[in-house]
Amino acid sequence: MGVGANFWDLLKPYARAEGFDFLRNKRVAVDLSYWIVQQETALKGQIRNPHIRLTFFRTINLFSKFGAYPLFVMDGTASPLKSQARIARFFQASGIDLSSFPVAEEGISIERNKAFQKCEKECVELLELLGVPVLKAKGEAEALCAQLNREGLVDACITSDSDAFLFGANCVIKNMQPNSNEPFECYHMSDIESGLGLRRNQLIAISLLVGNDYNLTGVPGIGIETAVRFVKSFSDDEILYRLREIGLQDFQHDVNLDSSLIPSSDESPRKTKVPHCSICGHPGSKKAHLKFACQYCSATANEGCIKKPLGFKCNCSPCDLDNKEKEQKRNENWKLKVCRRIASEQNFRNNEITEMYLNKLQQYDGDYHLSWENPKIDMIVDYLAYYQHWEPSYTRQRMFPMLSTIFLRDMASNSKDQLLGGQYEFDSIQRVKTRFGHQLYVINWKKPTREMSNVICIPSEDFDTEQELGIADESTDLLDEPDSPQIHVKEGCSFLSTEEDMVLVQNAFPEKVSQFLRDKDLKESRSRRKRPMKSENSESPRGVQLSIINFYRSSKVPCHEKPEESETGCPKISADTSRERDIEPIRNYSKSVRRKLLFD
């Protein structure tokens, strides 16, 4: 959840739509509970174990499609305030009065339900088999993700909890759409600071006023717009101190609220109000303006002032100063009203919540050992066959893009292993493919056909993934299922084609890339030579359609026979010749016009 009152809508205008290369060779921390809740809510009852499926496919996409180094963070033991908020959220969903719900005792926390713990345990088992590091936070998972991001151990966080910014995150990815041109909806703290003018302490203050994961209600009567306006009246350094002082005021005697807590601008000495004419509305007396026109009116001196129009407002300096003083007084009264609302809230626990958001407690015990290992393929096949009832060939085929990416990374770091999984070798670069505006190499991986059944097999025709899932075609984006490698057999060998990053292939196999580029240039030069050179007469203006006679030239050889002569010595004109002469002008018309002339 994070901050309440539609806090994401406030940040939405400052989101960036990042492309495929945004996470290339970067570390990203994933809030595991976010993925579990998202998939269980969207696809529960439609497919078997949606949390396992989502974790498997999205992890493969992060490796192969986006080139990232993902690590996952689990929720730890919830604080008493968090436990109390969970009970309140449950009562809200059940329609029970919040005033009757039990209060969690100090030092006692309430764990999540057993169904969620079971899903989390199964996902962690799968991630460990995939070789991905998994960390367990002492408290909130998004708090540890933000701490890793703030300390520079990861480059971004993937979570839907908006309070990640309150914990100190610099870059948060809220949504992932692998099958789009810009798959990431990314929020940078620098954009929020420059766009909204709000820094971290001010965001914490907004959460205290509108509600958060530790206090669902916040201060009644204060919405997001009121909170933003009130918080902006204080600096980032003093806002939390001011809220603490306001919260300590006696709510039973809020009429005597200390007005020194309200910021006010330096007031100049109030000047005496200058009298204004009731006719023209300008400074001066009516008696004087009846005789002579004032300096503000455009009339002549003998006619007096002009009568002021309806809704007239004087812009003289005394009136301008008076209007500013009135506006300042209205703002101070409004701030005093907001302060009284805050002071009247008995459960305004700003101190405890502020300490949690400022990370004064360490979120992780011990050192961070972030290392990515090779997946345990055989154990993953057995794991998914047990939980998802997948064929081994289907699991191996879906894992192949991830395995190829890891293999290319190892080759780029001077690894001595020349075979992918001990079976496939890098054969050639087939072509360059553009996917959503991003160029990739299509790589052919070679393996003898007789060994094909040991690692990757073509799935049987009767194993239909969509039938097994029972989901319509429009749900493919929600499932995040990666593209499977193309399989074909040629000259007694099996080949698998995968799409790989061009820079990664260049670093792993520079000689193969150089050979591919040379062959590509040679092929293009040969094709240019084979193209016939167009003469100047045959060229037509671009965009002008040729006539049907010029476009479809006759393949018949024209006859050069002499025409027969008549008895008078003149050429003999036959009936057919005269007919052709009559039809000749018709050929200059378009096909539709000729059809009408001939058949109508």
> Structure pTM?
0.75
Q: Which pLDDT tens digit goes with each residue over 24-54?
A: 999 999 999 888 887 766 666 678 888 899 8
With CA atoms as reference, report the closest residue to 15 among 169, 172, 152, 200. Answer: 172
Which three-class secondary structure state does DSSP give residue 540?
A: coil
Distance CA 459, CA 465 (A): 10
134-148, 210-224, 254-268, 462-476: lowest mean pLDDT where? 462-476
Rounded distance between C-alpha atoms, residue 340 and residue 250, angstroms:
10
* Region of 281 on the Ramachandran plot (φ > 0 left; ψ -120 to 50 alpha; else beta): left
Contact predicate 274/318, CB 8 Å: yes
CB 186 within 8 A of CB 168: no
pLDDT at residue number 306: 73
Say which residue, 352 or 127, is predicted with more confidence: 127
What confidence tens digit (pLDDT) does each residue in 470-494 have? 333 333 444 566 677 777 777 777 8
H-type alpha helices, 65-175: 80-94, 114-129, 141-150
Considering only CA atoms, which of 447, 445, 446, 442 is closest in space to residue 520? Answer: 442
In angstroms, what CA-CA distances link 152 with 67, 110, 203, 335, 562? 19, 32, 21, 39, 93
Mean pLDDT (whole number) for 295-299? 64
Amino acid at 377: I
To which residue do tokens 């007919």 refer? 579
d(CA 414, CA 399): 23
Q: What is the C-alpha to C-alpha distance for residues 99 and 217, in angstroms, rounded to an integer?
A: 12
The most confident of the ranges 35-49, 55-69, 268-282, 570-584 is 55-69
Helices then strands, each counted (H, E), the chain: 23, 11
In angstroms, the CA 498 to CA 493 distance is 16
CB 98 within 8 A of CB 337: no
Predicted local distance difference test score (pLDDT) of residue 402 = 93
Asked if 68 and 23 count as a contact pair (C-beta separation under 8 A), the reply is: yes
Q: Of the given ranges (81-85, 237-241, 537-541), which has the lowest mean pLDDT?
A: 537-541
Tokens of 52: 């396992």
From 44-48, 160-164, 522-526, the region with the lowest mean pLDDT: 44-48
The pLDDT tens digits for 509-519 are 999 999 999 99
Name the 3-class secondary structure at 444: strand
pLDDT band at 464 (very low <50, low <70, confident <90, very high): very low
More confident site: 174 or 492: 174
pLDDT band at 95 (very low <50, low <70, confident <90, very high): low
pLDDT at site 476: 40
CA distance 311 to 314: 10
Judge whether residue 551 has pLDDT over 60.
no
In the chain, the amino acid numbered 274 is: V
Q: Report yes or no: 379 and 129 within 8 Å, Cβ to Cβ.
A: yes
* 8 vs 342: CA distance, rounded Å: 23
Q: Tell me how far apart the alpha carbons of residues 490 and 465 are, in angstroms, rounded to a whole number.
A: 27
Q: For the chain, give the number of residues.
A: 600
DSSP element (H, E) containing 350: helix 350-357
**Helix 32-43 vs helix 50-64: crossing angle, to nearest 10:** 130
Q: Give mean pLDDT, residues 374-392.
A: 94
> How do 184-188 and 15-18 pair as beta strands?
antiparallel
